Amino acid sequence: MGMEADDSDQVFCEDPLVRSTSWLCRDDFDRERMLDMQRRMHPGRRRAYALLTLALVATGPWLGWWPLLMVIPAVASFKIADIVAPRVAHPEYVMFASWIASAVTIAGAVSLSGGPHSPALPWLAIPVLTLSSRFSMRGVIIGMAITIVLVLVIALGGDWRAVVSDPALVIAPFALFFCITFLSTPLMRSDIEHRSDAVIDQLTGLFNRKALSGRVVELAQQSRLTGEPVGVIVGDVDHFKRINDSRGHAVGDAVLTNLAYVLRKQLRAFDLAYRVGGEEFVVLVPGSDLGRSGELAERLREAVSADESGPVRVTMSFGVCASERGETFEYASAFANADAALYRAKRNGRDQVCLAERDAVPALVLAPASAA
C-alpha cells in the first residue's frame, strides 16, 4: 500500500558534489576511470612496496637502514588517498598529491642510500610508469617535470662534483624515465579510447549496459566482503515518446544529453550513472541503504524538474531498491524491485520517487505525485 509524504517531512542528504573539468581531468569519464584505476592498482601497489621494503632490508648492510623509514610515509599517503579520494568532488587532486608523495619518498630513500651513486636511483621509474595510466597528458608532463627536479636535487645536492665529472649518472636515469613515458603513454591512450568506445554511451557520455554488467559483479564481490548495502535507482523520462513524436528525434537526443549532465552533477565520485535504454537510466549507489538511496533519487528528480537549460523541460520518475546490510548484493532482484517501483511511480502520476521494499512488497511513495 503506497504512502505519500509532504515535502516538509523529507530529509535530504548533504549538498551534492558538483564535478567539473580540471587541469587533471577532461571530463567525468576521466575522473571515474582514475578512481577505477586507483582501486585496481591497490593490490599491485601493496606488493610493489612490500618488494621494495624487502630490497631495502636485503641491501641495508651496504646502503644503510635509514631508507627503510621512507616506506612509512609512502604507504600512509596512498592509504589516505584511498579513503579520501572517493569522498571529494575532485579526487584527481588527492591522487596526484599521493603520487607526488610517493615520488618524493623514493627520492628520499635514494638520497639516504648514496644520492647519485645509489643503485636505487632507477626506482624513480616506478611512479613515472603509473603516470599515463592515471592522469591526463598535462598530469604526465607535470609528473615528469617533478621527477626531473627530484633527480637534479638528488644529484646536485648529494655529490655535484661527481655528476659534473660523470654526467652519465643523471643522463642514464633521464633516458630511462623518458623512454618509459614515450612508450607507456600511447599504449595507455589507445587502451582508454578503446575502452571508452566499448563502455560509454556515445550520445550521453554515461556508461552503457556493458559497463553496468562489469560494475555489478564488482559490487557483488565487495558487498560479500564488507557487508555494505548497495542502492539501485532506476529512472525514466516522463512522456519521452511525446517529445520524439512532436519535436523530432534530434530534440529528443538533446534532451537525453542534457539530462545526463544534470544527473551527473548530483552524484558523488563513486555513484555511477548508466544509460540502459532509450530514456531509461540506472544509478548504482555503493554503501547506501534504501532510505539514503531514496533521498538521492529525490534529489535527482528535483534537479531534473527544476532544470531549464535543455531544449524541452522534462520530468523523471524513479524507482529505488537497495540490498540489506550484511547480505550479498544481487543486482537482478534489486533491479526488478526498483523497476517495479518505477512503474508504480508512473501509474501514480509521474514526476515522483517510489521506494520498493524487498520481495516485491508494494512500493512506498517518497515524493508527492504530480502529473507530468
| The pLDDT of residue 132 | 85
Domain ranges of the chain: 28-199, 203-365
| The pLDDT of residue 372 | 40
SS (H, E, C) the chain: CCCCCCHHHCCCCCCCCCCCCCCCCCCHHHHHHHHHHHHHHHHHHHHHHHHHHHHHHHCHHHHCCHHHHHHHHHHHHHHHHHHHHHHCCCHHHHHHHHHHHHHHHHHHHHHHCCHHHCCCHHHHHHHHHHHHHHCCHHHHHHHHHHHHHHHHHHHHHHHHHHHHHCCHHHHHHHHHHHHHHHHHHHHHHHHHHHHHHHHECCCCCCECHHHHHHHHHHHHHHHHHHCCCEEEEEEEECCHHHHHHHHCHHHHHHHHHHHHHHHHHCCCCCCEEEECCCCEEEEEEECCCHHHHHHHHHHHHHHHHHCCCCCCCCCEEEEEEECCCCCCCCHHHHHHHHHHHHHHHHHCCCCCEEECCHHHCCCEECCCCCCC
| The pLDDT of residue 15 | 31
| The pLDDT of residue 14 | 33
Architecture of domain 203-365: 2-Layer Sandwich (3.30)
| The pLDDT of residue 37 | 78
| pLDDT tens series, the chain, 372 aa | 333 333 333 333 333 333 456 778 766 667 777 777 777 788 888 898 899 899 989 999 988 898 888 888 888 888 898 888 877 878 889 999 999 999 999 999 999 988 999 999 999 999 999 898 788 888 999 999 999 999 999 988 888 888 899 999 999 999 999 999 998 888 776 666 655 557 788 888 888 888 898 889 889 988 888 899 999 999 999 999 999 999 999 999 999 999 999 999 898 877 889 999 889 999 999 999 999 999 999 999 999 999 998 899 999 999 999 999 988 899 999 999 999 999 999 999 999 999 986 554 444 445 444 434
| The pLDDT of residue 357 | 66
